[in-house]
Amino acid sequence: MTATNSHKPTLIGRYEKVIGVLVKYGFADVVTHPPFSRFVPKWKKLIPKHEGVPVTEFTRYELIRMVCEELGTTFIKFAQIASNRPDILPEELIEELQKFQDQAMPVPVENVQGTLEQELGEKLEKSFESIDFQPIASASMAQVHRAVLVGRKEVVLKVQRPGIEDTVALDIQILKSLARLVESRFPQFDAYQPMELVKMFETSIRKELDFTMEAANMRRFEEQFKGNPDIYVPTVYPEFSTEKVLCMEYIDGLKCTDLVALEGIGMTGAELAFKGINLYFEQVFDHGFFHADPHPGNIFVLRDQRVCFIDYGMMGTVMEGDREMLADLLLAVHDHDVDGLKTALLRFSWDEAKIDHTNLEYDINEFFQNYSNIGLEEINSNEVMAALNSLFFEYKIKVPSNLLLLLKALVIIEGVGLMLDPKYNIIENIHPFVVRLLRRKYSPAKLSKKMVKTFGDLTKLATSLPEDIEDIIGKLKQGKLHIEFEHRGLAPLNHAMEAASKRISFAVVLGSLILGSSLLVIADVPPHIKNVPALGVFGFVIAGIFGLRWLASIWKQGKF
């Protein structure tokens, strides 16, 4: 059997690589702290240049992109996923992180063969007539090969890159160390929530590494569109699929942006834009399970004009309540409703108490004023989403990651629509789906269901209330009732009191030392140094050293 990975990466080796790249791009201030400081080659002076250009000529955000680019798969994926968080990261950094292209050099043939032999075993020879080891697509996580099953059925094999799992595991450890370091040593970056970004990334990339989950996504997607004549989902072959290999039907379709080819099957770009994006809205607002990466390379058109999405590794889920929140937001944008958009944004936030409501309302009003004199057909949805993202970031409105993923996917799908039809307007076309969702929300059947549930909750409360009151009174009588208080905003006061108590204690000890030394000198207690009591002199010296240290500490803190 062919070896798939002869050189297994080590944590120390990976640390050294990460540190070298950080220093190269001018992030030496990060690697001078533990745990990275243990691995820094102090004897080696690295010149911070990129392609001959000093790194000082690039912005900090450009340097972050360069670091991720040079460190490879895991860091590129992390940057791509982090770019879905405009509520945490600034717009300039988001723009840099979105420049990544998920492309990679092909894996050697012997490594691909080794992975297939290891994962499929005897099935490889018994079930496949041929496999083309020249990949039709090569990305950072996997590459895709055409193959033919016994019986002449054409399929594609998505094969995971050998060793990628080990590298990702090591890189996640390093990313967590970096996140902890940034949070502890660089408080100015707290707003970016580095540890939350790493945790979100870890969850996402572990799903992408398991191809059985992608196969499950395809089956679920196929089930929700069962009977729909406008969409086609490739058949997945679970008997030839594992965590590292995914076997699915080969799609011989047209690229969705090939307008000439579309004309050959009797379809215009405008017709495809309307059909394809309406199918996407159906995914979001009717099913709550959507393709999270709908770029043109993942959308094909069959010759019978059915739309076919491929690559189901990154999918998004939105619950009914989140869809309703999103519908309220989009409807407020469509209707230029200041109060409605403010309410929708605040419902998104996890910590409404920290938001300046008055300034938010002024900024929303300005947001609408920018579009008040522009025709609906001239509004750029990318600009609208960018403006909303700026509001998220400026007011620290922490939006659930699945909703941000959806907002980004909507921007991508709108870009596809504009390639097909320059006059396509996503805001106008999304409006009927939003209205339909809100009608379902306030339908008599839904309202009556909520009323029944509310009545049930009230009945349950009324039934249990006397027993709860009796229990509280019983605990009061027995002196067993405990009430917990949570003090907020007292940390600075506690810190100040702690510092003051330490200084008072130090002053008392210092004063006692000076007084005791004075008494020893007055009492002329032996032994003597030049007729002066030695113990008294020693006490004065110690008191002087402590006193100077105390004054230096106060001077350094600027508090007198």
The partner residues of 316 in beta bridges, in order of sequence, read 290
Residue with tokens 């008191």: 543
Question: How distant, in Å, are the alpha carbons of 409, 464, 542, 544 from that of 531?
Answer: 88, 87, 20, 21
d(CA 291, CA 214): 11
504's tokens: 């008072």
Query: Is residue 434 within 8 Å of residue 350, measured between CB atoms?
Result: no
Helix (H, G, I), strand (E, B) or coil at 307: strand
Instruction: Confirm if 73 and 168 have CB atoms less than 8 A apart.
Output: yes
Question: 326: Cβ–Cβ under 8 A, 6 or more apart, which residues?
Answer: 318, 403, 406
Phi/psi for 406 (5° steps) reads -65, -45
510 alpha carbon, distance to own chain's centre: 53
How many angstroms separate the first and last alpha carbons of the chain?
A: 75
Contact 42, 19 (CB under 8 A): no
d(CA 48, CA 516): 59
In sequence order, what are the residues at sequence separation of 6 or more whose Cβ sits closer than 8 angstroms to the Cβ of residue 491? none
| CA–CA dist 550, 363 (Å, integer) | 49
Hey, which residues are catalytic here?
Answer: 293
The DSSP string of 133-161 is: -S-SEE-SSEEEEEEEETTTEEEEEEEEP
Which residues are within 8 A (CB) of 184 and not within 5 positions of it... i.e. 6 or more apart?
A: none
* 49-50 and 299-301 beta bridge pairing: unpaired
Region of 51 on the Ramachandran plot (φ > 0 left; ψ -120 to 50 alpha; else beta): left
Closest CA relative to residue 382, chosen from 403, 421, 412, 404: 412
Token pair in block for residue 303: 């010759």
